[in-house]
Chains A and B, each alone.
Chain A
């Protein structure tokens, strides 16, 4: 796909059996290439892929005990829903009775019984998604690979499918490897996740670990909002130049004159931007010591009118010292913003 360009390098991952594992990263970070190499569509130039201890790196895709749910679903347009689901079993010459039974079971599990005679062209996006899942699950693969499978669905359906996917995975005890660029999706569903950037693994860990203790400024910026202070801006707060990050929802807005405790960091600044999001408000605060911090506050007792009035006012930010997370390398707070938006 990428010819001679190195798409991924030094990706060393161990995925446990029965785990929901996500590969999270911006587009072009190599997460899909990783998935395609596991599936067998692409051959790694170096390195190995082990499946239950067996080296499958040189095994063709049709001999690997993994199945893929494609981003565009890749349903066979000339076959009915039932024929699509049956395809893998038919190709593997499973006996007719067992085939029928398993197809029926898969259709029932994905609530597709009544659609089995339809062609993919007659289905909605969510229904197609379920057919694609049924078609892969019916083969009971060792590992199910999912390539941004919810990307084409609208928000409501996506959230619904997230829960459904997770519950299927838990019920079947199957290993899922899930590729996404949506941090929320990765955090909600995964047992563990790897954050990838430019073909390298930035951090591997549980959602809470990755979110609350990002190892690098890239992770801090990509998973959640980019609240990184470095150099002079950091020194103004902590007295040290080492870059740190703090999650926006851990910061409290306070009056300028409020006194802080010994276990708290504080900084003063001016509210530059107020984004009212209904349940909460996002404040962007220019710090007096340099840099900016994003603060999320629940709208506990504030109306949108009151919230918007805070724009331009001087304010004090306070957060607990334990929420400060020092970063491993020099921070580049601006560079990551673009990728957050995606």
Chain B
């Protein structure tokens, strides 16, 4: 009765648990991470000293290797994002607009299916395919095509990431393509546009928010990954450095400082996406 008459109170009750969760656990942890970045590790005892200063950031800027790793991580993340978008669009378009209902169900299922298996299993599967005496080289050898040295390089990393995040790019894009009414495409044709013009002037602009949504997944997931570089790559990502700083060196302040880098990059990415009006349809 009381709750019925006071919608404000009802709202407060409904929203407070998730809000508390958001504030304390998520934003709180982020804030704490940010603060930690200004502490330092005592070089002798390896204990953490709560001395406020910019020494971690100074170290990040001074050492070229950290900049290199960051640039490499962002570069591969961008390449993966672009590749996935290019791969996903025709699949999403075919599944949403051309395929018969049965083929569509099959395609949708095969999009989602990989997500139901463990991430580690999928990465290890690729490891067995790409490794020196793995499936890929064996097949090439059987076909008398020689062998490649794909295994454990930036290329293999690129392939594996593209595979891992493709479903996350596909699904929002599929949803966006599916929402376009047939009549819009017919109207464009009716007004004299060929297929290419319809694609660039009508379909892509409407699907754009879906493309950006998917790209945010691919980009952020690559940016934060540290397992795949370990298992199928030969280079380090930002995540690997952070992992080693925490796990091996116990230098949490430095890890925190470095972790701010991908957070900032992600913020920039989202800002650019907003500039490109990707969120207007939300």
Contacts and interface: CB of A to CB of B under 8 A. Distances in A.
A77 B206 contact: yes
Contacts of B194: 62
B142 interface: no
A226 interface: no
Interface in A62-91: 62-63, 66-68, 70-72, 74-78, 87-88, 91
A43 B197 CA distance: 22
A291 B46 CA distance: 104
Interface string B182-199: 011011111111100100
A72 B181 contact: yes
B202 interface: yes
A317 interface: no
A1 to B, nearest CB: 9
Contact of A78 (B183, B187, B197, B206): B206
Contact of B191 (A41, A71, A78, A139): A139
A76 B191 CA distance: 12
A193 to B, nearest CB: 23
Q: Contact size class for B?
A: 10 to 19
Given A76-B202, A77-B206, A78-B205, A88 B184 contact: no
B192 A41 contact: no
B192 A139 contact: yes
A88 B192 contact: yes
B186 A88 contact: no
Given A77-B206, A78-B205, A91-B197, A72 B183 contact: yes
A135 interface: yes
A247 B102 CA distance: 51
A87 B205 contact: no
A153 B188 CA distance: 24
Contacts of A40: 189-190
Interface residues of A, number: 25
Interface in B255-280: none
Given A77-B206, A91-B197, A67 B186 contact: no
B193 A76 contact: no
B182 to A, nearest CB: 9
Contact of A70 (B186, B193, B201, B202): B186
B3 to A, nearest CB: 36
Nearest to A87: B191
Nearest to B183: A74
A61 B190 contact: yes
B189 A61 contact: yes
Given A41-B186, A70-B186, A62 B192 contact: yes
Nearest to B189: A61
A91 B193 CA distance: 6
A172 B231 CA distance: 71
Interface in B173-221: 181, 183-184, 186-194, 197, 201-202, 205-206
A87 B206 contact: no
Given A62-B194, A91-B197, A74 B187 contact: yes
B181 A74 contact: yes
A68 B187 CA distance: 7
Contacts of A91: 188, 191-193, 197, 201
A70 to B, nearest CB: 5
A92 interface: yes
Contacts of B201: 87, 91
A243 interface: no
Nearest to B209: A78
Contacts of A92: 192
A87 B186 contact: no
A61 B186 contact: yes
A155 to B, nearest CB: 24
Contacts of A60: 189
Interface string B142-185: 00000000000000000000000000000000000000010110
A139 B191 CA distance: 8
A8 interface: no
Contact of A62 (B184, B189, B202, B205): B189
15 contacts: A39-B186, A40-B189, A62-B189, A62-B191, A62-B194, A66-B190, A68-B187, A71-B183, A74-B184, A74-B187, A76-B206, A77-B206, A87-B191, A87-B201, A139-B191
Given A68-B190, A88-B191, 18 more contacts: A39-B190, A41-B189, A41-B190, A62-B189, A62-B191, A67-B191, A68-B186, A68-B187, A70-B186, A71-B183, A72-B181, A74-B181, A87-B188, A87-B191, A87-B193, A88-B192, A135-B191, A139-B192
Interface of B: 181, 183-184, 186-194, 197, 201-202, 205-206
Q: Which are the 10 A-B pairs with shortest beta-carbon distances?
A: A88-B191, A74-B183, A74-B187, A91-B193, A61-B189, A78-B205, A91-B192, A70-B183, A68-B190, A92-B192
